[in-house]
Structure 1
Amino acid sequence: MKRFLLLSLPLLALSLQAAECNMAFGHGILIAPDHIRILQNNRTHVQINADKQLFIRGEWATLTEEDTALLHQYSQGLRKFVPEIVSIAVDGVELGLSSIEAMFTGIGSKAQQAEWRELVRETTFQWMSRFVRTNEHFYLAPQSLNELDYFLHGELKPQLDNLARHTVGAVWGALRDALRHSDSNFERSDNQEWQSVGQLVDRINLGLDAKAVELEEKSALFCQRMQELDKIELQLQQRLPALVAYDVVAEKN
């Protein structure tokens, strides 16, 4: 029992640190290889080109050497941090979807498969509008670290559970109909893994739990990075007052 308590203490400390962190992103952030864009209501208000040129509301800002050094430090901080956060969330979504889609590969008619895939797309559209990863482009919508934690624990898991139960039930219905009437409207892959709904849900939850643990283990580090970025941002705002209106990294009350 004593050994169990000792092993539990590090996880408890991580949970407490995550709960105490109230840092948040107040604007959407798009990271691309040659620029960074700060967005509000899907419009670019601030853009950093090549980590050294700054545009505020479309106007080029004249920078001193000290300003440029601070901007480069700020830009590099966002580049190292934002893609890591986005990837944790996107990996969780893709893990669940790939498991679900694998179930109806080769089953049912083309129309049925199109219907199931459309259901998956509709269900995930809202998630993926908050976290986007396309090649070397990463987008993070305004949110706090606590909201990201809730996304993995409170939103993604139950919705993927419902989606899995709905689509797998439909898949098995199509399979039963096909076997009852004919096998002309579906093909079974030799490598097809037939799973029960419970098995599929357990598999998805296991992967999501791993992502949640990964986020929890990094939460203290993430919070520290955001606090450091906030300090750099404050220095930039003091030197360039036009940036005060675009507080990207902030402490959330």
Structure 2
Amino acid sequence: MTSCLLLVSSSCFADFECDMDLQQGILVNDNQIRIVEDYRTLYQINGDNQLIVQGDWLMLNEQQNQLLAEFSHGIHYAMPKMVLLATEGVDIAISTVENVYLGLVGEDHTSYKRLSSALKRVKRKVGKKFIHTEDYYYIGPRSLENVDLLVDAKMEEEIEHAIKTSIGGILSAIAGLTSDGDAQTQQRMDNLSLRLETMGAEIERQVGPRAQTLRNKAKWFCGKMKRLDDVENQLRKSIPQLQPFDVIVTGHQVN
């Protein structure tokens, strides 16, 4: 029982930590990057060589243009992948939790319905932070912290709360095993143990390869964002108008 729940709570990104965050939102379409805060555009990059900061078009030197092009290419390449990575990661976490719990208590149990409802709320929250439409990708501020878990602290807390509020269903199932005669109780215990073992093997078969792929993608993304953070810092040092805006933060900068 405990091992099944630990399979869920440890997540496929155990042993991998990547401290990273966005302090402003980033909206990306095919030709433009916009850095936004409270629905206002702080600055935008058109193509890979035009920088507009708070409405002013800045003329850049050759070195600044090279840095801007590297930053623009990196954002265009990484942001869509991060949106897909986040949504796929949460899908795996949710389906794993549901499979474990569904196999124990069944879909008609009220505690499963509570858990399912909470997990759907988590998925909706992720959908609001990581947005993909036909025209653009968007990642909201404070969306990348704990990228190894692919959910922020509030979402993690909600999942934990859902499991705690639903754990009564599992305990009820176990308690029910002691209400019959010894032989029948032992048989039911054996059946439950077999179900747990089978369930664990099936989850590992379904989730394991996807989880490893996501782990590799997350590590790649972490390295990519650290490089972009370095490029952004070079831009901010070189272009005074960008100094107030520290969009990507990594390592000790993450609060």
TM-score range, shorter chain: 0.5 to 0.7
- The residue aligned with 2:67 is 70
* Alignment coverage as a number of residue pairs: 192
Q: Which residue of 2 aligns with 1:90?
A: 87
Structure 1 alignment gaps of length 5 or more: 1-13, 101-118, 167-201
**C-alpha contact (below 8 Å) 1:149/1:215 kept by paired residues:** no
Identify if the C-alpha distance between structure 1 residues 42 and 208 changes in structure 2 by more than 3 Å, giving closer, same or farther. farther
Deviation of 1:158 after TM superposition, in Å, equals: 7.3
Counterpart residue number, 2:249: 250
Q: Kindly indicate whether residue 54 of structure 2 is the aligned counterpart of residue 57 of structure 1.
A: yes
**Amino acid in the other structure paired with 2:242:** L
Gaps of 5+ in 2: 1-12, 99-117, 167-200
SS at match of 2:224: helix
2:34 alignment partner AA: R
Between the aligned partners of 2:64 and 2:234, the Cα distance in structure 1 is 9
Aligned-pair RMSD on alpha carbons?
A: 4.3
Task: Tell me the amino acid that sits aligned with residue 241 of structure 1.
Answer: P
Sort the Cα spacing of 1:72 and 1:27 in 2 relative to 1 into closer, same or farther, 3 A: same
Asked if the contact 2:126–2:151 (Cα under 8 Å) also holds between the matched residues in 1, the reply is no
- Report the CA distance between 1:207 and its aligned residue: 6.7
For 1:147 and 1:133, locate their aligned partners in 2 and report how far apart those are by CA, in whole Å.
21
CA deviation after TM superposition for structure 1 residue 235, in Å? 1.5
TM norm structure 1:
0.58
In 2: Cα distance, 1:133 partner to 1:208 partner: 24
- Residue 86 of structure 1 deviates from its aligned partner by 0.6
Give the residue type in structure 2 aligned to 1:51. D
Determine the C-alpha separation between the residues in 2 that align with 1:143 and 1:78: 17
The residue number in structure 1 matching 2:146 is 147
In 1, distance between residues paired with 2:136 and 2:202? Answer: 29
Sequence identity, in percent?
29
CA distance change for structure 1 residues 231 and 120 in 2, over 3 Å: closer, same or farther? closer
SS at match of 1:51: coil
Partners of 1:153 and 1:35 lie apart in 2 by 27
Q: Report the secondary structure of 1:33's partner residue.
A: coil
Q: Please report how far the alpha carbon of residue 54 of structure 1 lies from its aligned counterpart in structure 2 after TM superposition.
A: 0.6
Alignment CA distance shift 1:146-1:222 (3 Å): same
Structure 2 residue aligned with 1:233? 232
Q: Which residue of 2 aligns with 1:28?
A: 25
Whole-angstrom distance in 2 between the partners of 1:134 and 1:89: 15
Q: How does 1:115-154 map to 2 (within 5 A)?
A: 124-143=123-142, 145-152=144-151
Structure 1: distance between partners of 2:230 and 2:37: 21
**Alignment TM-score, normalising by the size of structure 2:** 0.58
